[in-house]
Amino acid sequence: MAEDIIRTKTGIQGLDRALNGGIPSGNMVLVSGGAGTGKSTFCLEFIVNGANTFGEKGLYLSTEQNKDELYKQASLFNWNLLELEQKGLVKIIYYDPTSGDGFPQTFNDTVTQFKPKRIVVDSLTTLLDSLLISGISDEKGFSLVQIAETINPIPRTEQIVTKHVLYSLFKVLKAFKITTLLTTEMPENGKTLSADGVSEFVADGVIILQYVGVGSVDFRSMTVRKMRYTDHSKSTLAYAIEPSGISIKESEI
Ligand SMILES: Nc1ncnc2c1ncn2[C@@H]1O[C@H](COP(=O)(O)OP(=O)(O)O)[C@@H](O)[C@H]1O
Ligand SMILES: [Mg+2]
């Protein structure tokens, strides 16, 4: 490996090798897939490995599962999130997108004070929807909320507004220069790599998780579809969700 770029290792069995050593640090990477493909598990493992193996702090912003639900999911893999939180290595923020509160105003402050090396946004799809719905009318100042406020109230198509909010959200997150994973639902029609159809172009990387059923046999596959600033495996990688976490199998599909 001639390049000497700094990388953030996922610690996910077999994945760092497929990434030529890890995710280039500071990249914003979409983890895209259908329901149940393991996006949240992937992100949790990224945060837990960061803390346990590499001593790196991780911030997990969840819009879908609350803290107790995340503790429960993690405990199935023997990951003790509460302990990692108590050690100051992990911080979990649950944001209820239906609360109508707009985005937590503390997010910027938390990132600034906590200084995580890793951030997860699970899910970008829900966050984007709630920014579009509640953020626009929010008058209080917070940069992520202000994103929505910058939208000119002249009627525009939903797609343009979505794009605007998305670009602004990425800009804010990118300014932190922290390796970030964002989950997004990938439509089954296969026309786009994310629910919004735009973020795959803005993101530095896209990792696709798929669940394929063929007759009575089913398997999971992972593809690094895009990863800026590094070469990477272009193969479709078989993976499994095991009691120890996600593991890429040597065999390629
Ligand atoms: N402890 C476990 N052992 C094996 N597989 C699991 C375990 N926990 C969850 N899974 C699998 O992972 C899937 C859910 O993963 P999750 O990360 O919540 O998916 P997503 O966030 O993409 O919806 C479940 O449907 C199940 O197949
Ligand atoms: Mg999930």
CATH number reported for the structural domain that contains residue 136 in this entry: 3.40.50.300
- pTM of the full predicted structure? 0.90
CA distance 139 to 132: 14
Check residue 139 and give its pLDDT.
41
Take residue 173 and report the two structure tokens written for it: 């997150």
CA distance 30 to 225: 10
Q: Which has more pLDDT, 134 or 183?
A: 183
* pLDDT, average across residues 150-174: 71
220 inside domain? no
Over the Cα atoms of the chain, what is R_g?
A: 18
How many whole angstroms from 72 Cα to the centroid of ligand 2? 13
The three-class DSSP label of residue 191 is coil
Q: Are strands 7-8 and 23-24 parallel, antiparallel or unpaired?
A: antiparallel
CA-nearest of 232, 249, 230 to 13 is 249
119 inside domain? yes
How many whole angstroms from 241 Cα to the centroid of ligand 1? 7
**Which range marks the domain in which residue 186 is found?**
7-30+37-213+226-252
219 inside domain? no
Check residue 107 and give its pLDDT.
82
pLDDT-wise least confident of 6-10, 50-54, 93-97, 165-169: 165-169
CA-nearest of 178, 152, 177 to 165 is 152
Which residue among 13, 30, 41, 45 is best mutated to probe the pocket of ligand 1, counting the most ligand atoms within 8 A of its Cβ?
41
pLDDT digits (tens, 9 = 90+) for 27-70: 999 999 999 999 999 999 999 999 999 999 999 999 999 999 99
pLDDT-wise least confident of 142-151, 190-199, 205-214, 228-237: 142-151
How many whole angstroms from 85 Cα to the centroid of ligand 1? 22
The three-class DSSP label of residue 209 is strand
- Pick from 92-96, 133-137, 214-218 the range whose average pLDDT is largest: 92-96
Residue 27 CB less than 6 A away from ligand 1:
no
78 inside domain? yes
- Written in H, E and C, the secondary structure of 148-175 is HHCCCCCCCCHHHHHHHHHHHHHHHHHH
**From the alpha carbon of 73, which atom of ligand 1 is closest?**
8
Residue 76 CB less than 6 A away from ligand 1:
yes
Check residue 3 and give its pLDDT.
64
Structural domain count, the chain: 1
131 inside domain? yes
Residue nearest to atom 13 of ligand 1 (CA): 36
For helices 39-52 and 67-75, the axis angle rounded to 10 degrees is 80
201 inside domain? yes
CA-nearest of 98, 156, 102, 128 to 30 is 128
Residue 240 CB less than 6 A away from ligand 1:
no
46 inside domain? yes
